[in-house]
Chain A
Amino acid sequence: MSEITYAQAIAQALREEMKRDPNVVMWGEDIVNYNKGGSPYGVYRGLPQEFPDRIFDTPIAEEGIIGIAIGAAMAGMRPIAEIMTVNFTLVAWDQIVNHAAKQAHMFNGQIKVPMVIRTPNGFGRTASTHSQNFDAWFASIPGIKVVVPATPADAKGLLKSAIRDDDPVVYLEHLALYHRVKGHVPEGEHLTPIGVADYKRRGKDVTIVTWGRMTIESLKAADVLAKDGIDIEIVDLRSLRPLDLSLALESVHKTHRVIVVEEGWRVGGLGAEIAASIQELAFNDLDAPIARVAGLDVPMPYAENLERATLPFAEDVVAACKAMMANQY
């Protein structure tokens, strides 16, 4: 079992599922002919050539991409709509929220929309309008599922599960993970269930509840903290809808301290929802206020140093854990 990148794990999932099921098709901007093909970021090189009649470039028309996928899904296909960045989903939110998410509900399950929206979410050195994180927004929409893999294994396992799921699934990737994060991926058929969290590190002092890129940052923080004798436990939610808090609660019963770590804006972030739920369900087990590490409440600046200043990284997780262990909150 060799290590592969996050992007390679996505490519494996796409290739396996397209081979397995002829109904899996893909639409997106610049995914076939741009540069060397295989998404603008080179995630799945060669795949468009393998499946020339099932992977299509589209005009710059995200509402159309999502709309086509919804129609195809309703007609029995397993489409994947690829949106170049999460920022471009904004023009297609009516399709996502009012159509993809509602069909099964409005027609009593007689119509299913088994589609996947794949899109890189989060910062990407691309300034205010192209460098945003909307995971909390997606997670608030009933009728869709939202998954946010952090590791190559979960990237592969969650994508395969998403493609096979009968509901619309928003699959949020991250530019910062594509080619930089490597990891082991189980050989053969590997499915990660949707709606099931995972311990990425076991520890006893503080529970970190996180997902996506911040799982990777939290793992880096854990190594730094271990040198100071602080042993953190990392719960990777993996799915934001449905939200599985069972591991977080189990962990709180052990550590009695919780920090929710997210990349997106703190105000109205999913951390607020998680903190509220934990205090409802485990109030008597809290020894400290639930803390949040999150992105600054500002539009993303373009200057690299300023961009970095608005985003949470491992050092922010380290600082939050140290403060909590010192009763400084």
Chain B
Amino acid sequence: MATEIMMPKMGFDMTEGTVASWLKQVGEAVKKGEPVVEIETDKTTIQVEAETAGVLVAITVPAGEKVPVNTPIGMIGAAGESIAAKAPAPAPAVSAAPAVVAAPPAPAAVAASAPAPVAASAAAANAAPVTMPKMGFDMTEGTVASWLKQVGDAVKKGEPVVEIETDKTTIQVEAESSGKLLQIVVAAGERVPVNTVIGYIGDGNVLAGNVLAGNVLAAPQPVAPATPAVAAPAIAPQAPIDNSGANATPIARRMADELKLDLTKIKGTGPEGRVTKGDIEAAVAAGTASASVASGATSAAAANGRVIASPYAKKLAAELSVDLARTQGSGPEGRIVSDDVKKAAAAGILVSAQPSAAPAPTVAVAQPVAVSAPVVAQPAAPAPKAATPPPAGTRREPLSKMRQTIASRLAQSKGTVPHYYVATSVEMDAALAMRVQINEALKAEGVKVSVNDLVLRATALTIKKFPKFNATFAGDAIDYRENINLGVAVAMEGGLIVINVRDVDKKTLKQIGAEVPAIAARVREGKGQPGDMGGQTFTTSNLGMYGVEDVIPIINQPDSGILGIGNAIQTPVVKDGQIVVRSMMKLWLAADHRVTDGAEGAQFVAELKRLLENPWALVL
């Protein structure tokens, strides 16, 4: 078993520390009690000793980086141990890919890859719910006639915020507290039971997941946790969970049990690594929302993903196999009570009958891009378990961690992000000729520029002109990323990973040509460095090497766009009235319609085409 080396907490007020230097190299033997790493705090420098004997199998935080206390910074295991197989992964990417050193706990890396800190859970803590009022003894449900405030509007206590229509009358509901309208949960025109939460007022950040054009979103969009210390845990357990021995606060343990989270996979930020409520909320922030969104029901899942139900309702739900996550709550703040469970049981809302969390990707032309940053690559919480035995004549193979991650992340993207597609055909003859010349010139240096490198460079320059394709949809805002980091999908056995090439717009073709294969090799061999995976702002997926023409990809969240790159194929084309043979390459852009529109996508691919067809622009 591998043992993590954590950033120690030395002194009451220490919140973070710097790895001054590693005293051992990866692969070197370590004795118990032997110093392995030197840590620098604001006050002092100390050597941290190994708690077990073994081999230093991984360094997750290199020297010079500053991380919060209790962050895993390295790992000691048995000689030759494969961390991918055994490590209590600090991040799913570690277990998902053979690449070991994937977790970038450094705040900088997180900031680059995570959406703006819209931390739903944190905001929800300051948010007071607006509920469907009970007006009269016999009122059981009401309709939201209209919202009198927009999300983000300031609201004063006592000011009308929403108009409610009952069978008998229409009244205006006043705010019970001052603040901002943070979220509209139930859109105008929707009818819900009394006491259902219809919106939130508070002084925090506007919550993601607002209602758009009459759609009811039960919960905020998944938002990556703003706390960098919380590395994304592997959430979907395969075996029955026993959290009884875990180091966690009582409420964290209860939440974990409710959400079926394996506490040993969640990194605690409390004293001595204790898992706290905040850690759980951060861990579920991305995962649980998608299920309720896909189900389309206003469930009792609170803004932070927690299902609120009375103890007896939970007991009854367990007895009747009712799925609480999809059960409508009629109690205060949407709390599920036993009557709701009985109704759900009658309606067949059962755990075993749970549909898959989101529609499966239907675009069959290409295997799209999947795994990426540990910060965003959180498998959706309880991955629907195969409830029925496999049909006769079928061999069933459990999903690997990587496949679980791919399944949940792409289902979530395809199911929640409105994709649009634009494609273009690029005449690559000039670019191919230039590439031959460049590679001739670089021969002595042993560097080769690939067609894909040309496309990467062209993409980076195009993104510079169209920053919306370097952005993230953040609920009621668009977050533009400053760096242009391009993800490159790399196929590997059992799935694929996305490696990250940073600041492509600032690099020459020669640098790109050297860097891409180096990163890919490092990651494949499990020797990746922080930043090699995760942190991409736009992703590319090239399947041209298989002779494929059209690659229609699925967006790799939190990106707003992805480029599918096909093979450059000799094709008869009409030029100036003549049929000539040209090497034509198809490029498909898939983009998030919430961030950009088709006209922008069209200009994006037109600019790409222009650059590749006039390739000297790529070296100027």
Contact = CB atoms under 8 A, between A and B. Distances in A.
B332 A329 contact: yes
Contact of A327 (B137, B312, B337): B337
Interface in A291-329: 326-329
A329 B333 CA distance: 11
B337 A287 contact: yes
Given A327-B331, A328-B332, A288 B137 contact: no
Nearest to B330: A327
Interface in B126-151: 134, 137
B195 A327 contact: yes
Given A327-B195, A327-B330, A328-B332, A284 B311 contact: yes
A78 to B, nearest CB: 47
B332 A286 contact: no
Contacts of A285: 311-312, 315
B560 interface: no
Contacts of B311: 283-287
Nearest to B139: A326
A256 interface: yes
Interface residues of B, number: 15
A288 B331 contact: yes
Contacts of B338: 256, 287
A275 B420 CA distance: 57
B570 interface: no
B352 interface: no
Contacts of B330: 327
A326 B315 contact: no
Contacts of A286: 310-312
Contacts of B335: 327
Contacts of A328: 134, 195, 332
Nearest to A285: B312
A284 B311 CA distance: 5
Nearest to A288: B310
Contacts of A283: 311
B310 A326 contact: no
Given A256-B338, A326-B134, A327-B195, A284 B332 contact: no
Contacts of B137: 326
Interface in B283-336: 310-315, 330-332, 335
A256 B332 CA distance: 17
A184 B160 CA distance: 58
B123 to A, nearest CB: 26
Nearest to B335: A327
A288 B195 CA distance: 15
Nearest to A327: B331
A324 B315 CA distance: 20
A288 B337 contact: yes
A110 B297 CA distance: 70
Nearest to B193: A327
A287 B310 CA distance: 5
A256 B312 contact: yes
A284 B337 contact: no
Nearest to B310: A287
Given A327-B332, A327-B337, A328-B332, A284 B312 contact: yes
A327 B137 CA distance: 12
A329 B311 CA distance: 15
A207 to B, nearest CB: 13
A1 to B, nearest CB: 41
A286 B137 CA distance: 24
Contacts of A327: 195, 330-332, 335, 337
Nearest to A228: B137
A270 to B, nearest CB: 23
B329 to A, nearest CB: 9
A224 to B, nearest CB: 15
A327 B194 CA distance: 10
A287 B331 CA distance: 10
Given A326-B134, A327-B337, A284 B315 contact: yes
A286 B134 CA distance: 23
A329 B314 CA distance: 19
A26 to B, nearest CB: 49
B313 A287 contact: yes
A325 to B, nearest CB: 10
User: Which of A286, A287, A329 gathers most chain B CB within 10 Å?
Assistant: A287
A225 to B, nearest CB: 14
Contacts of A287: 310-313, 337-338
Interface in A140-186: none
Contacts of B134: 326, 328
A283 B309 CA distance: 12
A328 B330 CA distance: 10
A284 to B, nearest CB: 4
Given A286-B311, A287-B337, 10 more contacts: A284-B312, A284-B315, A287-B310, A287-B311, A287-B312, A287-B338, A288-B331, A327-B335, A328-B134, A329-B332
7 contacts: A284-B315, A286-B310, A286-B312, A287-B310, A288-B310, A327-B331, A327-B337
Q: Which 8 A-B pairs rank lowest in CB-CB distance, beginning with the nearest?
A: A287-B312, A284-B315, A327-B331, A287-B338, A287-B310, A256-B312, A284-B311, A286-B311
